[in-house]
Structure 1
Amino acid sequence: MVAIAAGGRRFDLKLDAGLPLLEAVHRGFAKAGFESGACDLDGVTLARLSYCIPALSKTPDHVAFYSDTYRPAGPTVISRGALTFGRRDAAPFFHAHALWREADGKIMGGHILPEQTFLAKPATVRAIGLNGALFDAGPDTETGFKIFSPVIAPAAQADGPFMRVFAIRLRPNSDFCGSLEKLCADHGVSHAVLRGGVGSTIGVRFEDGREAPNFATEIFIREGRITPGADGRPEASVDVGLIDYQAQIFEGRFKRGDNPVLITFEIILETDRPWPA
């Protein structure tokens, strides 16, 4: 795990119509004084969507890969989704997964391509900006991908007040809930909320006993919290949406202790404490 303590402030992110989604997100964060953060994509209408879903890798260089690019005709309405915003090659970039309804009524999901996706109309979404950290995409020798990871950054231009947050990247094979619970226990955090949340796990085991058996997934966090369990130690409750490499869609709550990361997972964990303390 890579985790950097920083300041965070929630705000309403306004997205302008007619722009590439990447440019709209960049402008919205910049207007609020932030270079990096996370947001949801709930209810956003796209004039043009370009996306891919997970795929089996054709070479031994990657454990999984991406499908061909899909571009459905007509407007697409995102039902739920999450986005991590930061930089790649010193330029704005994002990593986003979502579920949506296409113009013909088809329900799909996947990995949204930033510069090939355009907004149909203005939207306002929930966001959190980072102060003192940002997500920067760089080469990752373990996975063979260029991946977002949090790094220390100069103070944001945004006004406070800020809450104490952790900008996090979970590495392959680390248990999702267990990793966050340990982080909270180590730092004396009993209550926290997950903001954003984009990545992949090795299939999914749900709390209700269902499974998403295919190992290659594209997942986003619908809602997540850390609260004290019966023994007083931090426990994670995390609801997710996902699509697998056979285009099967699942939604539900992670089973604690049984969902290891496949390639990466980015999260901002917002505590109930002010920053700086």
Structure 2
Amino acid sequence: MISQLIHPGPAPARRWAALPCSAEPVDLILPVADTLAQSVALALSGYDGGWLVIEGATLANLDFVVPGPRTDSHAAWYAGPHRMGAGHVRHLGLHAARKDGGAWLHGHGQFAAPGWEGPTFGHILPLESRLATPTRARGWAIRGAGFVVATDPETRFPLNQPVACGGGTGAALITLRPNQDMTQATALAAAEAGITRGRILGLGSIVNPRLAGQAPIDSYATEILLTDGRLDHGDARIETELVTLSGTRHKGWLEPGENGVCITAELLVIAD
């Protein structure tokens, strides 16, 4: 049984969005720009979005947040920002998006800096962080759908929402609403988009995660990055790395049926 988190707004009956799109593998150089979000947008110019992974890069400035306790208006919030300065990205997965007409991204990853004693995993701040040098990124460029940030009445968070940009085939952009098992909901949403076998990429958050072969994790808010994910004959298996409210980091496979979405999950599913 999943743990649930009660949010302040009304919960729509429809618990996911799934839009078909096309995805092609890319190996890009992100240029230096005023913000990390702008660097990603420039590299993906001509596409409607993308899922990218950065590994082994030093940023001129690296700011991030981790999960924080509930507030009067949100069931959970953020703690930080944690300011690493010229921090090092060990690995970062990100969705390219748009917000208020400008470049945006939603990225979770693992970070480091000399002498750093704070959290080492979290949600990167896309307008405060910036590259030091041109940086390699690999992943998938998307056409036919994209993410645009809009306020979500249920959670009262500004969240990525998939929007149609002409449609496509072979992939789907998916978002999951809170309080449903992540693996089961991913499989159902992908099937609605016509995909029953493929790769699952993305990020999100989970309530009190349950990882296979590990002790229960007591943290009603987390940030997660998918490190592996497969859809096979309509069943989803998802491996994640995550950070808790106390800043501890964990990695493992989600136990099916036991991991409720906390705020959102934002996924790119690519058919085999």
TM-score by length of structure 2 reads 0.88
Deviations 1:11-62 (CA, angstroms, capped at 9, x unpaired): 11211246521111111111xx213121112223212111111111231x11
Structure 1 CA distance, aligned partners of 2:33 and 2:68? 31
State the one-letter code of the partner of 1:123. T
Report if the CA contact (8 A) 2:66-2:223 is conserved: yes
Report if the CA contact (8 A) 1:241-1:250 is conserved: yes
Report if the CA contact (8 A) 1:165-1:270 is conserved: yes
2:3 corresponds in structure 1 to none
Residues 186, 27 of structure 1: alpha-carbon distance in 2 compared, 3 angstrom cutoff:
closer
Matches within 5 A, 1:122-141: 122-141=134-153
Structure 2 CA distance, aligned partners of 1:198 and 1:2? 15
1:191 corresponds in structure 2 to 197
Residue 10 (structure 1) aligned with residue 25 (structure 2): yes
Residues 185, 86 of structure 1: alpha-carbon distance in 2 compared, 3 angstrom cutoff:
closer
- My pick for the range that moved more, 240-249 or 122-131, is 122-131
Report if the CA contact (8 A) 1:242-1:249 is conserved: yes
State the one-letter code of the partner of 2:47. F
1:103 corresponds in structure 2 to 114
Alignment partner for residue 50 of structure 2, among 21, 27, 37?
Answer: 37
Deviations 1:102-129 (CA, angstroms, capped at 9, x unpaired): 2225561111111111112322121212
Residues 78, 120 of structure 1: alpha-carbon distance in 2 compared, 3 angstrom cutoff:
same
Residues 208, 118 of structure 1: alpha-carbon distance in 2 compared, 3 angstrom cutoff:
same
Residue 91 (structure 1) aligned with residue 90 (structure 2): no
Instruction: Name stretches of at least 5 consecutive residues in structure 1 with no aligned partner.
Output: 156-161, 229-233, 273-277
Deviations 1:138-175 (CA, angstroms, capped at 9, x unpaired): 011000111101011147xxxxxx85111010101121
Matches within 5 A, 1:51-66: 51-59=64-72, 61-66=73-78
Identity of aligned residues (%): 27
State the one-letter code of the partner of 2:257. G
1:261 corresponds in structure 2 to 261
Structure 1 CA distance, aligned partners of 2:34 and 2:113? 19
1:171 corresponds in structure 2 to 177
Report if the CA contact (8 A) 1:41-1:98 is conserved: no
Secondary structure (helix, strand or coil) at the match of 1:226 reads strand
- My pick for the range that moved more, 262-271 or 203-212, is 203-212
Report if the CA contact (8 A) 2:94-2:107 is conserved: yes
Report if the CA contact (8 A) 2:187-2:196 is conserved: no
Residue 46 (structure 1) aligned with residue 59 (structure 2): yes
Residue 218 (structure 1) aligned with residue 223 (structure 2): yes
Report if the CA contact (8 A) 1:81-1:221 is conserved: no
Report if the CA contact (8 A) 1:81-1:222 is conserved: no
Matches within 5 A, 1:197-276: 197-228=202-233, 234-272=234-272
Q: Cα offset for 1:209?
A: 3.1
Report if the CA contact (8 A) 1:83-1:95 is conserved: yes
Aligned residues between the structures: 256
Q: Cα offset for 1:188?
A: 5.3
Report if the CA contact (8 A) 1:18-1:120 is conserved: no
Q: Cα offset for 1:243?
A: 0.9
Instruction: Name stretches of at least 5 consecutive residues in structure 2 with no aligned partner.
Output: 1-15
Secondary structure (helix, strand or coil) at the match of 2:71 reads coil
Structure 2 CA distance, aligned partners of 1:91 and 1:243? 28
TM-score by length of structure 1 reads 0.86
Report if the CA contact (8 A) 2:20-2:169 is conserved: no
Secondary structure (helix, strand or coil) at the match of 1:34 reads coil
Report if the CA contact (8 A) 1:39-1:128 is conserved: yes
State the one-letter code of the partner of 1:14. I
